[in-house]
Amino acid sequence: MSVIEYYRPSAGDVESLFKLEKLCFPSPWDMREIEALVQTEPLLYTLGAFDDGKAIGYISGTISKQETLHIISLCVHPDYRRRGIAADLCSHAVYWGRHMDACKVVLEVREENSAARQLYRGLSFSEMGILHNFYGDNSHGVLLEKVVEPFRHSLNTSLFLFNRLRTTPRIGVILGSGLGWVTQPFGSGQSIPFSEIPGMAGEAVEGHSQTLHTSEDGEIVFVMGRRHLYQGYTGREIVLLPSALAALGVGTWVLTSSAGAVDPSYKVGDAMIFTDHINFSGCIPDLPGRSTAADVYSGSLQAAAKRQMTGSHSGVFACVSGPAYETAAEVELIRNCGASAVSMSTVQEALALRSLGCRVLAMALITNATDSGDSVCHDEVLSAQETVRAKQEGFLVQLLEGLLE
């Protein structure tokens, strides 16, 4: 059975979206209007559902007026209906709207489209009235509305970044402890201290520079530092910065974590691609009502990474709360649960980014090969960076350059 991928479409997807548009609507938008939907504008959101690169569904929404998300288009290929795709698309869009401070979602549907009206009622939309001759030729519409809880302050963060960056990077990278060297091969673009970004002031963990840095060409944005549960942040606060960037249209993400090996075959400097995770931290950011962790990590990005890595690993990642490192008994428990690497971050960011429709690749860069009974400290994590860089810098550069092609 094919795996449906959800992601923010780009110019290369316009033709496929246009074919879908013509198939689904009696009065379809033209190619120019579809092209406009995939532009990266701060108050516009478009998410596609794709099967092997073919668009089989999409949704577009815009902040039409203050605190209102207007769903302007939603469709699913006839062969893929009744699989929950439309509900998933709508759930992602509403989640984005909450990030943009929407407290209300509105949309219109043809009065005679009973299947769509039933779908929206099932998603807690209320029918507010008839829109006479809304579609022309005496074809009436129905106005639907849903009240939601906004994520206050997220919009301010997104708009600040949009004004400072002036363009939307294509790729976002979150760097774990001591991994700032990853930015060096990509040159210096803009550098924005977290303290200048609305909502991002706070104490830094050693090894995190607390800076937003862009590559020289502006195509990659590096989040050089992250928030952790053990610092006292909530799930929403942990994911604020990457979510604000994703809301602007940064649609592909590479998450890195300086991690401990639980699998005894892993060595310092190795890399492990996440295939799945176990969240032992007890911290989950606010997610859409239909959210599932089943497809957090993009299969296509995993395949691309594995093709470029030599001697690499893939496996299950365990997220713990910290700040204490694991005891021997905890290491044994984590290993018995099927995880191969462990750290105190990354999972919350992955969940939030996936819920915004991003493609996510995550990897653990092994900084300590922990076996039962071994002791670990943060200084050991930082001192291992020379080994990690020697083993993985070439791969990471190649991976990011490949994602830009």
| In the chain, domain spans | 4-147, 154-404
- For the residues 185-200, what does the mean pLDDT come to? 94
Q: Do domains 4-147 and 154-404 have the same CATH topology?
A: no
Assigned token pair, 68: 């209102």
Phi, psi of 342 (to 5 degrees): -145, 145
pLDDT value for 373: 45
* Per-residue pLDDT at 295 exceeds 90: no
SS3 of 249, please? coil
Half-sphere exposure of 30 (CA within 13 A, CB side): 1
Q: What is the rounded distance in angstroms from the CA atom of residue 345 to the CA atom of residue 322?
A: 9
Task: Choose the CATH number for 154-404 among 2.60.40.2470, 3.30.465.10, 3.40.50.1580, 3.40.50.2300.
Answer: 3.40.50.1580
DSSP assignments along 113-136, one per residue: -HHHHHHHHHTT-EEEEEETTTTS
* Per-residue pLDDT at 376 exceeds 60: no
pTM: 0.92
Dump pLDDT digits (tens) for 208-218: 678 999 999 99
pLDDT value for 41: 87
SS3 of 223, please? strand
pLDDT value for 178: 80
Domain 4-147 bears CATH identifier 3.40.630.30: yes
Assigned token pair, 284: 């989950």
Q: Tell me the pairing of strands 126-131 and 252-261.
A: unpaired
Dump pLDDT digits (tens) for 68-105: 999 999 999 999 999 999 999 999 999 999 999 999 99
pLDDT value for 1: 53
* Per-residue pLDDT at 207 exceeds 90: no
Q: What is the rounded distance in angstroms from the CA atom of residue 73 to the CA atom of residue 107?
A: 8
* Per-residue pLDDT at 147 exceeds 90: yes
The string over 124-159, giving b where at least 16 C-beta atoms fall within 10 Å of a residue's C-beta and e elsewhere, is: ebeeeeebeeeeeeeeebbbbebebebbebbbebbb
